[in-house]
């Protein structure tokens, strides 16, 4: 290489080295700046729950201590009689009358402090009407109220935005609304606002998911400022139970800013929406203008100023947050995580795990085979060992708090020998017991669902059936699950393990879903059962209770679906949290206190 070439080469070497150095410096500077700006602009950490300095709360005391809740879940006391009580009678004793509600405005709350609640999933939307999922209601229900609620201890229907209600004819209901109630936006709450909210929520055009929870079509209209009338297309004695499940949005928001409905709910509730930082938290703050201050709402008072909901999909992390003092409440823990948290709240829920049998399958069409499947499941062992003691053997698809629950029915016994005999008898009679059965479960549907599916398949093999376990992707499962009896291929042979929750607390909801032959989710068809359901639907009071119990008995005797366990729900709590879980799973901060 000559001198000039060397000089050129040296120049290139210097420039490349210079570029590398400059590039490294630039990269480090940009990276450092990015990290620093991320640190500075990052949202504030969820602070550890501070020691409370709450002033003594006025009026109604909150529910009992966590210890009391763990030993005697008050919400499980049977309100079945109360729930089945004739809705035609105005429950004046249960709620303040319309006249009383016109008294002086409520005093502002003396709330203070902050509570952090850890949920298992972030809601995709805060539109209550679109959800069937367990994590939506708890947040929105603090911001928006419904016409009715349930007593947290007895689960009896009580007035919330309605002070009185009455079924004035088989297809008409009248509600007297509270006076002096406003939405957080300042919009007055009256019958017109209620009618708009109800018609929006249940309109056929909107087709929101909540419509699966209703019976016949209905329409609301305002009679006067405080009187709302709802007309149903067919007699519906349990309309009040359905309405408790759906809080009311602000009609001004529906009209002027519907795009904000998914992310910024406005209601009349004790808490106002503050912010939703997606992926991180939803923050609420006490509503000083809430109608229920000063003891006007006997079922709760606002004692906590600020509420923050955070989301942790992993239950071990939820438990860790309570242990580390970062949260006061962790929803849905596993049984074995309960011991590690300061307060373990275990309470019955409305959730029942059951096996839904494809009764059109050549083997499962035979009642002996279905009975054998029922006898092959050791419910006590499943509840104790698989679900860590968080489940009680079930005899029906719904809890004892539900109208139509038949107390005479006991869980199917566990009897492998009898089950084997029944399968052998069926085989001898020419039933094709060797045909493939599939214990199918939807991926992620509940904790340890896959292990329960494996257990079921193994038990069926033990009694002489040809069974396998399969975890199905949610989309495929959803399509297969809701085919409807007439569309299910006979040879499919699915035994689906599934949770069912009857939030309406009336057995007709379960029956419409799983007993009726034309239901999308039903795998059972008996025209007599369909007729019995039709006959029971318009009934009220004791007559309704008896009719639904009789249908439950029929379903039980047919082994059409196999109830397994009623799930208890386990939550973690800090030492300072005062709250008793409700059977309907609602998390109402107005029922909570901090010691």
Partner 1 sequence: MIAYLARRLVGSVLVILGLIVIVFFVLNMLGDPARLMLSPEASQEQYQALRSQLGLDDPLYVQFGRFLAGLARGDFGLSLWQNVPALQLVLDRLPNTLYLTAATMVIAVPLAVGLGVAAALRPGSSVDRAITVVSLGGISVANFWLGLMLILFFSVQLKWLPTSGIGGVSFVILPALALALRPMGRIGQLTRSTLLEEMNKLYVNTARSKGLSEQTVIWGHALRNAALPIITLTGDELAGLLNGAVVIETIFAWPGLGSLLIEGIDHRDLPLVQASLFVVAVTVVLLNLLVDLSYALLDPRVRYR
Instruction: Tell me the β-bridge partners of 309.
Output: 117, 282
**In angstroms, how far is CA 271 from the centroid of its own chain?**
20
**Would you say 432 or 484 has its CB closer to partner 1?**
484
Report the C-alpha gap between 574 and 281 in whole angstroms.
19
For partner 1, the binding residues in 102-141 under the rule CB under 8 A are: 124-125, 127, 130, 132
- Cα Rg of the chain (Å, integer): 28
Which phi and psi angles does 31 have, rounded to 5°? -65, -45
* Alpha-carbon span 68 to 71, nearest angstrom: 5
- Closest distance of CB 311 from partner 1, Å: 6
End-to-end Cα distance, the chain: 86
Report in angstroms how near the CB of residue 327 gets to partner 1 at its nearest. 9
Using DSSP, state whether 569 is helix, strand or coil.
strand
Instruction: Give the footprint of partner 1 on residues 492-511 (CB under 8 A).
Output: 498
- 358 near partner 1, judged by CB under 8 A: no
Among 10, 11, 25, 35, binds partner 1 (CB under 8 A): 35
Binding-site size for partner 1 (CB under 8 A) equals 61
Residue from 4, 51, 278, 410 in contact with partner 1 (CB under 8 A):
278
Tell which residue, 198, 295, 204, has the closest CA to residue 244.
198
Piece in contact with partner 1 (CB under 8 A), picked from 66-74, 228-236, 519-527, 564-572: 519-527
Number of other residues whose CB lies within 10 A of the CB of residue 369: 30
Phi, psi of 162 (to 5 degrees): -105, 140
Question: What number of helices (H) and strands (E) belong to the chain?
Answer: 16, 19
Among 7, 10, 23, 491, binds partner 1 (CB under 8 A): 23
User: Counting contacts by CB under 8 A, is residue 326 touching partner 1?
Assistant: yes
Is 42 a binding residue for partner 1 by CB under 8 A? The answer is yes
Size (the chain), residues: 595
Confirm or reject binding of residue 476 to partner 1 (CB under 8 A): yes
Q: Applying CB under 8 A, does 380 fall inside the site for partner 1?
A: no
Minimum distance from residue 31 beta carbon to partner 1 (Å)? 6
When asked if residue 385 is in the footprint of partner 1 (CB under 8 A), the reply is no
Half-sphere exposure of 5 (CA within 13 A, CB side): 2
Under the binding rule (CB under 8 A), the answer on residue 51 touching partner 1 is: no
Provide DSSP, 422-434: HHHHHHHTT--TT
Structure token digits, residue 141: 């229900």
Site pattern 196..235 for partner 1 (x: CB under 8 A): --------x--x-x-xxx----------------------
Which residues of the chain form contacts with partner 1 (CB under 8 A)?
12-13, 16, 19-20, 23, 31, 34-35, 38-39, 42-46, 124-125, 127, 130, 132, 204, 207, 209, 211-213, 262-263, 278-280, 310-314, 316-317, 320-321, 323-326, 473-476, 478-479, 481-482, 484, 498, 512-514, 519-521
């Amino acid at each position: 290489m000559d001198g000039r070439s060397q000089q050129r080469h040296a120049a290139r070497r210097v420039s490349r080295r210079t570029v590398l150095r400059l590039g490294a410096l630039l990269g480090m500077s940009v990276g450092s700046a990015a990290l620093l700006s991320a640190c500075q602009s990052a949202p504030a950490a969820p602070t550890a729950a501070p020691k409370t300095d709450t002033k003594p709360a006025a009026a109604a005391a909150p529910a009992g201590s966590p210890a009391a809740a763990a030993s005697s879940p008050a919400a499980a006391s049977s309100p079945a009689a109360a729930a089945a009580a004739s809705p035609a009678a105005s429950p004046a004793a249960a709620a303040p009358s319309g006249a009383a509600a016109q008294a002086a405005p409520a005093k502002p709350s003396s709330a203070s402090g902050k509570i952090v609640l850890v949920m298992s999933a972030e809601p995709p939307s805060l539109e209550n009407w679109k959800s069937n999922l367990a994590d939506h209601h708890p947040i929105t229900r603090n911001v928006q109220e419904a016409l009715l609620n349930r007593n947290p201890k007895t689960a009896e229907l009580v007035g919330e935005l309605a002070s009185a209600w009455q079924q004035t004819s088989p297809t008409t209901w009248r509600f007297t609304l509270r006076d002096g109630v406003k939405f957080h936006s300042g919009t007055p709450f009256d019958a017109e606002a209620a009618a708009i909210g109800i018609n929006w929520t249940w309109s056929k055009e909107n087709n929101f998911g909540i419509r699966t929870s209703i019976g016949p079509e209905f329409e609301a209209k305002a009679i006067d400022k405080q009187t709302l009338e709802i007309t149903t297309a067919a007699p519906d004695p349990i309309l009040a139970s359905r309405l408790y499940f759906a809080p009311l949005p602000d009609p001004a928001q529906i009209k002027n800013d519907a795009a904000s409905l998914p992310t910024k709910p406005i209601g009349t509730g004790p808490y106002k929406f503050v912010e939703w930082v997606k992926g991180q938290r939803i923050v609420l703050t006490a509503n000083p203008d809430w109608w229920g201050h000063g003891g006007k709402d006997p079922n709760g008072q606002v004692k906590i100023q600020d509420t923050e909901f955070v989301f942790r999909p992993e239950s071990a992390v939820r438990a860790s947050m309570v242990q580390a003092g970062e949260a006061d409440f962790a929803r849905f823990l596993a049984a074995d995580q309960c011991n590690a948290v300061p307060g373990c709240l275990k309470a019955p829920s409305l959730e029942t795990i059951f096996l839904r049998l494809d009764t059109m399958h050549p083997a499962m069409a035979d009642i002996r085979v279905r009975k054998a499947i029922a006898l092959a499941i050791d419910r006590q062992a499943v509840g104790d060992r698989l679900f860590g003691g968080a489940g009680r053997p079930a005899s029906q698809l719904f809890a004892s708090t539900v109208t139509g629950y038949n107390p005479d029915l006991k869980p199917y016994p566990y009897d492998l020998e009898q089950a084997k005999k029944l399968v052998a008898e069926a085989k001898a009679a020419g039933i094709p017991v060797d045909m493939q059965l599939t214990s199918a479960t939807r991926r992620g549907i509940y904790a340890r669902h896959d292990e329960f599916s494996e257990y079921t398949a193994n038990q069926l093999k033990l009694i002489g059936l040809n069974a396998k376990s399969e975890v199905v992707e949610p989309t495929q499962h959803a399509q297969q699950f809701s085919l409807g009896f007439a569309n299910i291929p006979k040879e499919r042979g699915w035994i689906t393990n599934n949770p069912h929750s009857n939030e309406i607390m009336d057995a007709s909801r379960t029956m419409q879903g799983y007993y009726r032959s034309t239901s999308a989710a039903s795998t059972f068809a008996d025209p007599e059962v369909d007729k019995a359901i039709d006959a029971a639907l318009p009934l009220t009071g004791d007559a309704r209770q008896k009719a639904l119990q009789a249908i439950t008995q029929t379903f039980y005797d047919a082994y059409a679906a196999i109830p397994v366990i009623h799930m208890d729900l386990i939550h973690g709590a800090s030492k300072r949290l005062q709250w008793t879980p409700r059977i309907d799973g609602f998390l109402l901060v107005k029922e909570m206190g901090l010691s």
